[in-house]
Chains A and B, each alone.
Chain A
Amino acid sequence: MEWEAVIGLEIHVQLATQSKIFSGAGIAFGAEPNTQACAIDLGLPGILPVLNESAVEMAVKFGLGVEAEIGMKSVFERKNYFYPDLPKGYQTTQNDLPIVGKGVIEVEPEEGKIRQVRIHHAHLEEDAGKSLHETYTDENGRGMTGIDLNRAGTPLLEIVSEPDIRSAKEAIAYIKAIHSIVTYLGISDGNMAEGSMRCDANVSVRPKGQEEYGTRAEIKNINSFKFIEKAINHEIERQIELIEDGGRVIQETRLYDSEKNETRSMRSKEEANDYRYFPCPDLLPVELDEAYIEHIRSEMPELPKQKKQRFIDELGLSSYDAGVLSATRPMAEYFEQVKDRCGDAKLAANWVMGELAGQLNKDNLEIEQSPVSAVQLGDLVKRVMDDTINGKAAKQVFAALWAGEGASADEIIEAKGLKQVTDTGAIAAIVDEVMANNPQQVEQYQAAPEDKRGKMVGFFVGQVMKASKGTANPQMVNQLLKEKLG
């Protein structure tokens, strides 16, 4: 039987505010335990929350970015459950009336294959703290867990998709699209390694063509692109095998173990959770008006989709190139800077996607970490365009910039003497010299039939380039050789 996976994702995005969602404590990553947990974050008796305006603004920006309905009245509720990293015994979140309603996002899992994934809603909530299962013991030597509440109260936007995703690959494309939108908007640093984007996946399978959904399992704790794909694929296979062996998928929460590459059921007892949601009486309804929304709309930056279209329409890039170059905000910013510096979009695109991407990939670096800045690369491309250097020399210059051998392309060109020779007299002199030093080859060439000569000229080109230390203009060398060899 042919199976089809049905996947819905819940992505928790940590918002790039200065302070927490309901308190004035900081949210810097990696602080000493409990040094960024104020009275509110600790859930001390008598404390009260006050909502952070940036968190609201960022949520609205996201909503506008995915063409969603904005909740003009949204309400915070309490989700009640006991856990040591949840200081108040409830999480303040949104349930019935979220700040962002239905929206849609376009993803492109394969070149040219565009899919729409609907957003069910997105809501604001507070993060929990962290449980550290290290080896602390009580006075009787029993194992203890340490609780660090620095993260408690960090603002999160939880983005819930409809079950519109059909494969792990599409899931990755969707997450990348969300990542790209939130980083373009500047509402999150999108740093998955530090937990700024975390993902839960609801996965089910059904025979292809069947309307109704199968029973789903929720996979928690997946926090890198690599693991998301593996975890989802593993879960799809597990469910198919289970059903084909006559079993039944049960609705449960499963934890992905990246070391073993498997998902396993969380807590065998899996007591039915009863979160007792109710509107938080310490917070009032958040009401927004049209003027506020319009103000935020006017401040929206260009988003990946619009940017891609502009790259195609105005810069004449191919759809593929435009897609790659607009995929992430740092990539797009880098490219646009190179382009502005050198003035040629296509050449800039070739360099960014070719030499630069290759080196980044090889050294396993993100574009933000590139040792060659966009300004440096732009200046280098400019020197190719104005014929100061030839293509081969340009690669040398790039390598030298990468290695930090000089501050600018010009400096390296100068230091290494890579300036292209375009003086006909000078090149003719070298050609003459090469011909004089290789009389035998000249004879052979001149004796050869016309159709063999093409290949044989390569030898002379090589010799001339070598003698010029790579600086001779290759077109001129060819031209002169043809003339002089007869």
Chain B
Amino acid sequence: MHNKTIAELAKGLADGEFSSVELTQHFLGRIDALDSQYNSFITVTPEQALAQAEAADATRAAGNAKALTGVPVAHKDIFCTNGVLTTCASKMLSNFVAPYDATVVDKFNSAGMVSLGKTNMDEFAMGSSNENSFYGAVKNPWDTNAVPGGSSGGSAAAVAARLAPGATGTDTGGSIRQPAAFCGITGLKPTYGRVSRWGMIAYASSLDQGGPMARTAEDCALLLNEMAGFDPKDSTSLKKAVPDYTADLNQPLSGLRIGLPKEYFGKELSAEMSDAIMASVKEFEKLGATVQEVSLPNTMLAIPSYYIIAPAEASSNLSRFDGVRYGYRCENPENLEDLYKRSRGEGFGKEVQRRILVGTYALSEGYYDAYYRKAQRIRRLIQQDFLNAFNEVDLIMGPTTPTPAFDLGSNTDDPVQMYMEDIYTLAVNLAGLPGISVPAGLVNGRPVGLQILAGHFKESQLLNAAHQLQTATNWHQLAPSAGQ
């Protein structure tokens, strides 16, 4: 049952092959038996999951089932879930039981879906390896010596290990696409404003975007159908009709123009990586697409721009964690200042503190223009690069990451080295574009991802291309031994 895709599970439920309770029990059993190897969940909620599954079965019996009624999924622990611990993988929120549901969670609940629990992540979504978690690192199901990527590493590992057929993730600089690539699954970062941020604990508000993670593009389309949509509670949510993302999956690709940015295939990309990506590109040519080189000249500036904007917004977003109204409070504060400084100093991990410090510095008097404002000007340049490229091509393709998953502990002492991991993904968030990572085979036994980018709100086009690739190839069906 765990090897079925969400589309197959939905069909099985509809056909009465199995009930949601059976399905849910099956996945809960797998989590219970296997997750100690991966540490992909922070909280598992069997009772709630089974209650939801029973309700889903009842809904189906009454003839009111919707597309995904009864399908179990997991939520990244950055989404608030009413009555359930919501930690953001931080000691700061290790005692925080969210008193309300995120819009995404609410939408899944209304769709009759079942939540298995909350997945591990880099603390406050800051990281590319899932090693920055108060609840310990997540291990890559393909090789438990490797990182699963981050920050949505728990969601990616859980889906890859078949502990959940799909999961939610969030992507601020690559946090859906990079772990999807490292774990050999499919992950979609929608256009900024497509999925509501209400109840999604903010890292960098102008970059954060929730999205689906699953094994196939079709599954991502099904999940996005339930996630996307205007939310009056989110001022940055776009009032734009949501199409049926499965409608265009089977459109032929003849005449599709694909651009390969020359900056994404430079010398930092190994030959093996490049070969893997080009093999996928070849498949698109076979499907009738044309391929040309494009240029995104300001690619290298995405890293500095991102590492100012994201920490600056984070430094302010994380000020609310002060030990006053909820969350961690230090023992015996001597006075108010001590309460603040120790609660925050003890409650936040190192990488979070580093980014708060950088962001605070970048916004402080005398540096604002040189850092924050400058970074926002560069942000416009980067967006313009993409818009120019999309005048020439329909989709942009390249590697999701420069390398396959690296070993646990190999990058942790050098934050800057770690930041370079995001070189291909960051710019997409700065520009607000949608992007998807799809499995593109293995390099040195570890999965790599092909990243496909499209213009704003063209998720359907991304999903169509990804689905066609997955119809023509079987890279997405490769599974770690653990998952079989």
**Which A residues are within 8 Å of any B CB, using their own CB?**
39, 42-51, 78, 80, 82, 84, 87-90, 140, 147, 274, 276-278, 281-284
Contacts and interface: CB of A to CB of B under 8 A. Distances in A.
A359 B453 CA distance: 78
Contacts of B205: 281-282
Interface in B45-80: 79-80
Contact of B88 (A45, A48, A80): A45
Interface string B332-374: 1000100010000000000000000000100111001000100
Contacts of B100: 39, 44
A49 B197 CA distance: 11
Closest 4 CB pairs of A and B: A89-B319, A281-B205, A276-B363, A281-B206
Contacts, number: 102
A282 B320 CA distance: 15
Contacts of B291: none
A147 B322 CA distance: 13
Contacts of A87: 320, 324-325
Contacts of B326: 44-45
B332 A50 contact: no
Contact of B316 (A147, A274, A278): A278
Given A45-B80, A281-B206, 19 more contacts: A43-B325, A44-B80, A44-B326, A45-B86, A45-B93, A45-B96, A45-B326, A46-B202, A48-B198, A48-B234, A50-B234, A51-B235, A80-B319, A147-B324, A277-B363, A281-B205, A281-B313, A282-B235, A284-B236
Interface of B: 79-80, 86, 88, 93, 96, 98-100, 102, 197-202, 204-206, 232-236, 312-313, 315-316, 318-322, 324-326, 332, 336, 340, 360, 363-365, 368, 372
B340 A42 contact: no
Nearest to B318: A89
Nearest to B86: A45
A64 B201 CA distance: 39
A276 B316 contact: yes
Nearest to B206: A281
A274 B236 contact: no
A51 B234 CA distance: 10
Nearest to B234: A48
B198 A278 contact: no
A44 B321 CA distance: 9
Contact of B198 (A47, A88, A147): A47
Contacts of A90: 316, 319
Which of B204, B235, B321 has its CB near the most chain A CB atoms (within 10 A)? B235
Contacts of A42: 325
26 contacts: A44-B326, A45-B86, A45-B88, A46-B79, A46-B200, A46-B201, A47-B199, A50-B232, A50-B234, A50-B235, A82-B322, A82-B340, A84-B322, A84-B336, A87-B320, A89-B318, A89-B319, A90-B319, A147-B325, A274-B365, A276-B363, A276-B368, A281-B204, A282-B205, A283-B235, A284-B235
B363 A80 contact: yes
A408 B99 CA distance: 58
A82 to B, nearest CB: 6
B320 A88 contact: yes
A284 B206 CA distance: 10
A151 to B, nearest CB: 15
Given A39-B99, A282-B205, A89 B320 contact: yes
Nearest to A37: B325
A87 to B, nearest CB: 6
A43 B99 contact: no
